[in-house]
Chain A
Amino acid sequence: MRLELRGITKRFGSFTANDQISITVEPGQIHSLLGENGAGKSTLMNVLFGLLHPDEGEILIDGEPTTFTNSGEAVRRGIGMVHQHFMLVPVFSVAENVVLGFEPTKSWNRVDYKKATEDIRRVSREFNLEVDPDAIVENLPIGLQQRVEILKALSHDAELLILDEPTAVLTPQEIDALMAIMRSLADAGKSILFITHKLKEVKAIADVITIIRQGKVVGTAQPSDSEATLASMMVGRNVELTVEKSPYAPGDEVFEVRDLVVRDDRGLIAVNNVSFEVRAGEILALAGVQGNGQTELVEAIAGMRSVESGTITLHGKDITRASPRETLDAGLGHIPEDRQRDGLVMSMSVADNLVLNTPRRAPFASRGTRNIGAINENAFRLVKEFDIRTTSIHSPVSSLSGGNQQKVIVARELSRQLDFLVASQPTRGLDVGSIEYVHRQMVQHRNDGHGALVVSSELDEVFALGDRIAVMFEGRISGIVEPTATREEIGLLMTGMATVSR
């Protein structure tokens, strides 16, 4: 299918999300749409998929102008979309999910599951996408769920596949598998529109790259262009992909975890006898595949999860059984993994979220009454200092982009006198510009002589920040290495294939 978007414009009130965007996707081509979060990629895709109606411009399929009033029509015209958050019903089987909305029926409106299953097996074979049609979707790993999404689009005879940030939730191995699938689909003549902000992936797979910024197409690029070039086009200025750090000069020990044992929600041991210490002026990066106990470890440190045995010490003070408030008061800053659930109150204003951890303290409150003046003043100062993009300090935090939401948390935690910072997946889902920003702030905090623990499943981040790198596997620390270690060494530690004894 040859898809052409001509002068698409979409406005929300006074805000123009898409401004005269024109793109052409040729058959058999992987066309990458590169842009930061909030650049208007998702709006454009929703226009294309019939979920939003453009104010101006037209969509041409094989040269023929087309309009969609809902996504069902887009699907019938051969457009398939793989959403970032999968549009799959978790309790349904693969077959039920794939046929939903396009069911083959027998008499009495009954769904013909036999035919559905056969169709799925046929499409699976044709495109080499093995999935068991009878499996329940929620029991499948994420990578396979995504495969079901692709299969779903293909069984609706999609000629154009839109993949919206498809790699955000995948492990490195799953990303490789996805890339192979994309290439084979393109070879089979399908057109692919690949939306992302990850430069490495664009370079690895795209045939053509279109870069959009602030709702406008700012140019096209070749996959052979350097990452720095792509990044600067995307962000609109030069971006440092690595952060300058001052020389490593560790001071006294500020934080210690000794023989820590923590259970998960199921009552199973998630953190098994973990010990480490962090010194002043040092960032300890904790690497590992997600789900190996990092989440529980951080929750235990932050006082959000009870500790089975062992101790947590901050500046010689035992905070093992402290509540979240007590740990905050003891001088611990926490950038939580799930920022929308644990870091912010989404419906409250930016100003209120900026004092969320110290609402009762002077100067923000006295004698049980909030001091609105001080709160606003604090908000004005931090919004400026940390470059938080918001229309007003009184806007609800939910109206901010993901990157700016994270800036609110970073600003709140780092603007107060901290002894130690715990940051969990601090740049997950953020664009290049915001990642650079968050990294710079954390390195600045370390350069000022503070300690930090950074938990990340992104190896790039681990190497960019860590003065030492600890690797967690199945609840244990499988090794602590210098940042000069190779990716392969860390990879082995992450899979438990090797252990490093100290």
Chain B
Amino acid sequence: MTVTDVDGAHEVITSVQSGRTRVIAVIMIVLGLFTLLTFGLGASSHAHSAMSFAPVNSTNAPWSLGNLTVLTRWTNMVLGLIVLGVGIEVFVRQPRRGVMARFGGVSILFMFALLFWAVRTDGPSQVSTFNLTALLIGSSAATMVLVFGSLSGVMCERAGVVNIAIEGQFIGGAFAGSVVASVTNNYFSFYYAALVGAVVGGLIGLLLAFLALRYLSDQIIVGVVIVTMLGSLSSYLNLQVLTPFPNFNLGNLAPPLPIPLLHKIPILGPVFFNQSGFFYLMIALVALVSFALFKTKYGLHVRAVGEHPQAAATVGINVVRVRYINVVLGGAIAGVGGVAFMASQGQFQVGYTSGLGYIALAAMIFGRWRPSGAVVASIIFGVSVYLSYTLQQFNVPVSLYILQMFPYLITIAVVAGLIGRVRPPAADGIPYRHD
């Protein structure tokens, strides 16, 4: 690649970026209008909505917050106008920074408007409420798995290997984790499960790395093949092992490990400080990967290998070894993610990761190949995954199956680069040949 090529690409990106700002602005304007007209004017003038905060399962919460009751129509019209206003502001001013932050805020407002609308009750008597704490706890499970997956993606793609096999590593981790946790079935069983899940995920990563680095195969195709293979393998083993021997698939959930005092904080306590060990591990991993990639010598080598492997090679960095290490570590992280998913969902079932691995990749792209960005994106996706399953219990006149498409629609928009995409590592997905 000549340097002039890079310049050209840079120019193209600048022009594409201003186009994308407009696209995001239009999306926000549409969301605003939709909120205003459907969630606001669509609700009858005397409908009320209520939001509660008490955790469902916490028996010893030393606090209680009352319900928040609002007039659906007027609240949502205000929310809609705010969203519309932000959209118009972005469209007219085209700010260079903070567009994604605005988009995040708008998404949250939109979610509240949607929920207010969904739980509205005509007439004075309150029937249904939505529980914000329960919503956040419920979403945290999906979010956690997505964070593991997108961290795995960050590890691999920063070194220049596309890990589309995350879904397969989830499946492998979940299967192995379920068996190990069931067989050991004691206080430490989930520690063993996590360990074995990491090994299984790492081995799948090793397979991907071997085919991609040794034989320079197309990484996307190899990844998809691995996912398909693991899907079938898990079906087979499920039928041959788990079905006849249910003791291998007990479906125990990982117990919450409440953190003293902190878990008693209203709302935040149950969401952040009364989680299973996987949740805390996830937070530690985000910090660790961030630190390793952007502060250490190792991280500098990884990023150099992902951006310009020849340049890395000329200063004596072993490109292939760095890639092997990262793909295996990334696989291990995704494997633990699979165990975490199993530990929050129960018994292993065929196909129950339902494409979360791909959504995790979208979260990684949305998060601009950064661990912190991946967390923010995973929250957005995690909440939307959770909502798509829970909205049906409310007053929503849309089929469950249509709602369940929602996270995937966002995924398509992200992967197509409509929103939030920036430059991937320059050598991402390109096999490295050393001459």
Contact = CB atoms under 8 A, between A and B. Distances in A.
A142 B295 CA distance: 28
Contacts of B12: 265-266
A138 B5 CA distance: 11
B300 A96 contact: yes
A145 B6 CA distance: 12
Given A85-B1, A89-B304, A90-B308, A138 B7 contact: yes
B317 A101 contact: yes
Contact of A111 (B4, B8, B296): B296
Contact of A169 (B2, B15, B295, B434): B2
B431 to A, nearest CB: 15
14 contacts: A51-B314, A71-B315, A86-B3, A89-B303, A90-B426, A91-B307, A92-B307, A101-B315, A101-B316, A101-B317, A108-B291, A111-B296, A111-B297, A145-B3
B312 A100 contact: yes
Contact of A100 (B10, B15, B300): B300
A264 B10 CA distance: 13
B311 interface: yes
A85 to B, nearest CB: 6
A72 B317 contact: yes
B11 interface: yes
Contacts of B297: 103, 105, 109-111
Contact of B296 (A92, A97, A101, A109): A109
B60 interface: no
A388 interface: no
The DSSP consensus for interface residues of chain B is helix
A87 interface: yes
Nearest to A88: B311
B310 interface: yes
Residue from B298, B304, B426 whose CB has the most chain A CB atoms within 10 Å: B304
B132 to A, nearest CB: 39
B354 interface: no
Nearest to B307: A89
Given A92-B307, A110-B297, A87 B15 contact: no
Interface in B1-32: 1-4, 6-8, 10-12, 14-15
A110 to B, nearest CB: 5
B15 A267 contact: yes
Most central of A70, A264, A267 by chain B CB within 10 Å: A70
Contacts of A99: 300
A91 B4 CA distance: 14
A248 interface: no
Contact of A72 (B1, B6, B296, B315): B315
B325 interface: no
A266 B308 contact: no
A169 B2 CA distance: 9
Interface string A58-83: 00000000000011110110000101
A133 B71 CA distance: 58
A450 B308 CA distance: 45
Given A88-B311, A142-B4, A145-B3, 17 more contacts: A71-B316, A86-B311, A90-B3, A90-B6, A90-B308, A92-B303, A92-B307, A100-B304, A100-B311, A102-B315, A108-B291, A108-B295, A109-B298, A110-B296, A111-B295, A111-B296, A138-B6
Interface of B: 1-4, 6-8, 10-12, 14-15, 291, 295-298, 300-301, 303-304, 307-308, 310-318, 423, 426, 434-435
A383 to B, nearest CB: 27
A266 B315 CA distance: 36
Contacts of A81: 314
A227 B6 CA distance: 35
A265 B300 contact: no
A89 B7 contact: no
A92 to B, nearest CB: 7
Contacts of A46: 435
A73 B15 contact: no
A265 B4 CA distance: 14
Contacts of A75: 314-316
A106 B105 CA distance: 39
A462 B404 CA distance: 65
B296 A85 contact: no
A89 B3 contact: no
B304 A85 contact: no
Contacts of A102: 315
Contact of B311 (A76, A87, A108, A264): A87
B15 A83 contact: no
A92 B6 contact: no
Contacts of A71: 313-316
A100 B315 contact: yes
Nearest to B315: A101
A419 to B, nearest CB: 31
Nearest to B10: A138
Closest 7 CB pairs of A and B: A72-B316, A101-B315, A87-B311, A109-B296, A103-B297, A89-B308, A266-B15
B2 A85 contact: yes
A70 B310 CA distance: 12
A169 B3 contact: yes
A101 B312 contact: yes
A72 B426 CA distance: 23
A59 B297 CA distance: 32
Interface string A10-42: 000000000000000000000000000000000
B289 to A, nearest CB: 14
B22 to A, nearest CB: 13
